[in-house]
């Protein structure tokens, strides 16, 4: 029997998105439950929406979840079948809008099971996406595993494994890699001799160990209302001795930034830069690397107004306003860490040169790789067909 899973979806004024994307999530949850003879749960956390989301969900068979986290129970199939369906549909609601991190934390805390698949409301998942993610958690050091993601409209691959490192004063988390090995080879497992490490698991399409998530404190409150929460938490997990993995067999399609794009772009950028700084000030503990970061940040803060781009300077001021809380969090994380920053980066340095991964900086490089592989497959097919 496979372990049960709770799927947590935070949403804010996302009724149209849920109507479009939720059916694929329900299909995947039912497929996983049927395949493994196990229960599963979908928990949607509404962040103070005013678009009728809760009423619509209740009309779809979702019920308000008021009790503390506990195992979800089987419920009758709403289609009228007499056979019980091991899928619970539940809602939690914030009285007011609290932001992405708070809403996700509340959903993970309220989840009924120890594996939590965290999804954005604008993500469509493949019917068989859940099982491969779950396999990774046979290894008890695994904190999270994330999907392979494609853009919803274009179909272009946009989310693969992430390589961690440090350069020019900042922790770098956006260099990516694609898996080009053989999924079908005997014994393919993430916990094998060559795991597909990833520096972070994106909060919109990743599975987490609920107990570890809560023990680490969840997404950082100082990063509210959005951005860098998943990077910060994943890096914190790495420093605590856990690992984050990329699972290329689990596929998702994402309508990117469906909620964020409604907001003022300058404000969003200012928050993003502020949170990037807070992330470093809490978690970068190596003295030399921290000194390099501070020098770089000061330089950018001084020069950005001269270049008529004062956004970074304003973000620095915003971050400094929370310096007392940042110092408190920094002391706590430094005391709890079991890995150094350099030890984390070394994990990813060792991945370079592996023949089963393709490291890239730009999506165009990945698109060219995929196109050449497709051409190669067609040529092989032509040879087989004579």
Q: Tell me: the pLDDT tens digits for 329-374?
A: 999 999 999 999 999 999 999 999 899 999 999 989 998 988 887 7
pLDDT band at 84 (very low <50, low <70, confident <90, very high): very low
How far is residue 170's CA from residue 199's CA, in Å, rounded to a whole number? 14
Question: Nearest 5°: phi and psi at 253?
Answer: -120, 130
pLDDT band at 35 (very low <50, low <70, confident <90, very high): confident
Q: Considering only 46-55, 114-123, 370-379, which range has the smallest mean pLDDT? A: 370-379
Report the pLDDT averaged over residues 276-281. 98
3-state secondary structure of 298: helix
Looking at the domain 5-262, which fold is it? Spore Coat Polysaccharide Biosynthesis Protein SpsA; Chain A (3.90.550)
How far is residue 384's CA from residue 345's CA, in Å, rounded to a whole number? 44
Q: Over 80: is that where the pLDDT of 142 sits? A: yes
Other beta carbons within 10 Å of 79: 7
Please give the torsion angle defined by the CA atoms of residues 95, 101, 103 and 105, in that order, rounded to the nearest 10 degrees. -120
End-to-end CA distance of the chain: 45
Q: Are the C-beta atoms of residues 117 and 207 closer than 8 Å to each other?
A: yes
Structure tokens at 222: 């100082």
Q: Say what percent of the chain tops pLDDT 90.
A: 74
Tokens 């023990």, residue?
Answer: 215
Residues of the chain with CATH 3.90.550.10: 5-262
Report the pLDDT averaged over residues 275-289. 98
pLDDT band at 38 (very low <50, low <70, confident <90, very high): confident
pLDDT band at 309 (very low <50, low <70, confident <90, very high): confident
Structure tokens at 5: 């899973």
Q: Say what percent of the chain tops pLDDT 70.
A: 88
Report the pLDDT averaged over residues 320-335. 98
Query: Per the confidence metrics, is the pTM higher than 0.85?
Result: yes
Report the pLDDT averaged over residues 298-314. 90
How far is residue 301's CA from residue 376's CA, in Å, rounded to a whole number? 49
Q: Over 60: is that where the pLDDT of 83 sits? A: no
């Amino acid at each position: 029997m496979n372990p049960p899973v709770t799927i947590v979806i935070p949403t804010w004024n996302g009724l149209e998105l849920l109507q479009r994307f939720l059916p694929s999530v329900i299909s995947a949850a039912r497929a996983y439950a049927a395949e493994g003879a196990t229960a599963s749960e979908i928990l949607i956390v509404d962040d103070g929406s005013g678009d009728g989301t809760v009423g619509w969900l209740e009309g779809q068979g979702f019920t308000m979840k008021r009790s503390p986290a506990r195992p979800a129970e089987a419920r009758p199939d709403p289609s009228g079948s007499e056979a019980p369906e091991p899928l619970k549909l539940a809602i939690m609601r914030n009285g007011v809008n609290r932001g992405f991190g708070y809403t996700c934390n509340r959903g993970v805390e309220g989840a009924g099971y120890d594996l939590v698949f965290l999804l954005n409301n604008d993500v469509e998942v493949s019917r068989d996406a859940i099982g491969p993610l779950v396999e990774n958690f046979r290894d008890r050091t695994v904190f999270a595993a994330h999907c392979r993601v494609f853009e919803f409209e274009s179909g272009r691959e946009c989310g693969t494994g992430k390589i961690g490192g440090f350069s020019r004063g900042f922790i770098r988390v956006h260099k990516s890699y694609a898996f080009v090995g053989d999924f079908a080879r005997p014994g393919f497992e993430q916990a094998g001799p060559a795991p597909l490490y990833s520096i972070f698991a994106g909060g919109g399409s990743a599975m987490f160990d609920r107990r570890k998530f809560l023990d680490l404190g969840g997404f950082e409150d100082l990063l509210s209302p959005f951005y860098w929460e998943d990077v910060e938490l994943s890096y914190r997990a790495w420093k605590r001795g856990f690992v984050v993995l990329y699972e290329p067999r689990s596929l998702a399609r994402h309508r990117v930034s469906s909620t964020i794009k409604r907001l003022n772009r300058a404000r969003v950028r200012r928050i993003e830069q502020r949170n990037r700084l807070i992330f470093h000030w809490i978690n970068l503990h190596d003295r030399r690397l921290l000194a390099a970061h501070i020098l770089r940040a000061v330089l950018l803060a001084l020069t950005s107004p001269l270049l008529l781009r004062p956004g970074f300077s304003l973000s620095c001021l915003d971050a400094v306003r929370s310096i007392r809380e940042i110092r408190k969090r920094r002391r706590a994380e430094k005391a709890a860490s079991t890995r150094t920053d350099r030890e984390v980066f070394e994990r990813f340095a060792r991945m370079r040169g592996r023949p089963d991964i393709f490291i890239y900086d730009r999506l165009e490089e990945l698109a060219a790789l995929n196109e050449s592989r497709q051409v190669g497959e067609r040529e092989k097919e032509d040879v087989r067909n004579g």
